[in-house]
Structure 1
């Protein structure tokens, strides 16, 4: 099991009262939440940070993200950083990014994404809850504080990369296809990571969508190539089994586009694993 620590995240906001056209500051309201975090994401500083955090985090206005930068660090090369962003959350983001870079797929993804966004870095926002997401219209990646894990961050970084490889209109018309690919990339990374714990394996075993993701290893190798002997049945398997499993768990409205070439089902995994061993 991974050694874990608790961080306390406090969100504060100003409350104004009075008539609509004469609002005046009344008081500041704060709410605190506690989250478990892998010790290594707080204490590892191989990317040359200036030290870890205290375990107490403040988020003003509900998010931290935006206009600053921290160039030369793993996360700082692809994400924007607010000048007043909490140092502990940034340390965790740096260490999640560094963990991604240690993996072959993750390292190639990072290197290619770094080039793609060097003139327009990704906005970063931390949200209460579990959800991770990427909003391509706002060029913003949201990180859920309940699941501060590198595999979740990689999943959303993969979506960012997908949107750089095709027009947004094409991405939007095949969001189910891209979601399946990002899930598979996440699973490939996760299996090789210290984050592949008994608890995580149990989560995958209990979820229809995640079981469908793991089943892909029977048909597709780690470089995204479909095994030749399964080509005749694989497209039917994807449509009838994998897509249906995803539709049962949160992706019911995602458009699925029939593959023009089933051998190219995971083009972005191919691009990010060209230098990886089987």
Structure 2
């Protein structure tokens, strides 16, 4: 990486680790036990989107991204470490992306970054169904991924499967992602609960 790229990564990591949830995610990924003795590579690419590639354990970044996008992709790396294998990860890609989006929303909520990030533009200008759907999860789940008191788990499972998943499927990048309906709302947000345990 160039000096400019290192500086960009360091700045994003500083912002990320200043947040309790982001800091815990970073610590868990730095723990060699969580990585099963492997490592994650960071690489800046020309594409607009950022992505975590589990087959190469590479986090591809772009120069215009903010720390919340880095958080999102690092959560995918953490999710992958907690899956049984690559097939399990791919077969629940939609579940995992919904969790990552919700965690990203929680990370942004109340941060200064929200005012200038793409998420805000997606909600306020583009009226993105996907982003708006993710935000409605806060009506059912708390900031640690637990159901609000009195919430019916089956109702929330159905809401996610038939509303949130549908909103994601209307976005080209997610239309082919698989949703594992055998995973319930508790297992869908298990990683979020782990990275917010101390928050």
Query: Do they superpose with TM above 0.5?
Result: yes
Query: In 1, are the aligned partners of 2:40 and 2:59 still within 8 Å (CA)?
Result: yes
Q: Which residue of 2 aligns with 1:149?
A: 66
Question: Highest CA radius of gyration, 1 or 2?
Answer: 1
Identify unmatched segments of 5+ residues in structure 2.
Answer: none
**Shift in Å, 1:198:** 5.8
Which whole-Å CA distance do the structure 2 matches of 1:178 and 1:241 have between them? Answer: 16
**Residue matched to 2:4:** 88
For residues 99 and 183 of structure 2, what CA distance do their matches in structure 1 show? 16
- Number of the residue aligned with 1:170: 88
Instruction: Report the Cα offset of residue 254 of structure 1.
Output: 0.5
Aligned match of 1:246 in 168, 175, 190?
168
Mapped pair 1:158 → 2:158? no
Match of 2:138 in 1: 217
- TM-score, reference length from structure 2: 0.89
Deviation at 1:204, TM superposition (A): 2.2
Structure 1 residue runs without a partner (length 5+): 1-84
- Describe how 1:96-107 pairs up with structure 2 within 5 A: 96-107=12-23
Counterpart position of 2:121: 202
Residue 190 (structure 2) pairs with residue 267 (structure 1): yes
The structure carrying a bigger strand percent of its residues is 1
TM (norm. structure 1) is 0.65
Are 1:122 and 2:40 matched, yes or no? yes
Counterpart contact for 1:225–1:264, Cα < 8 Å: no
Conserved 8 A contact 2:50-2:73: yes
Higher relative contact order (CA 8 A, sep 6+): 2
Deviation, 1:117, is 3.7
Aligned residues: 191
1:137 aligns to 2:58 (yes or no): no
2:158 corresponds to: 236
Q: SS in structure 1 opposite 2:180?
A: coil
Partner SS for 2:52? strand
Hey, what's the Cα distance between the residues in 2 that align with 1:247 and 1:216? 17
RMSD: 1.7
> Hey, what's the Cα distance between the residues in 2 that align with 1:193 and 1:120?
32
How far apart are 1:275 and its partner, in Å?
Answer: 0.9
**What is the match of residue 181 of structure 1?**
99
SS at match of 1:229: coil
Instruction: Give the whole-Å Cα distance in 2 for the aligned partners of 1:263 and 1:87.
Output: 42
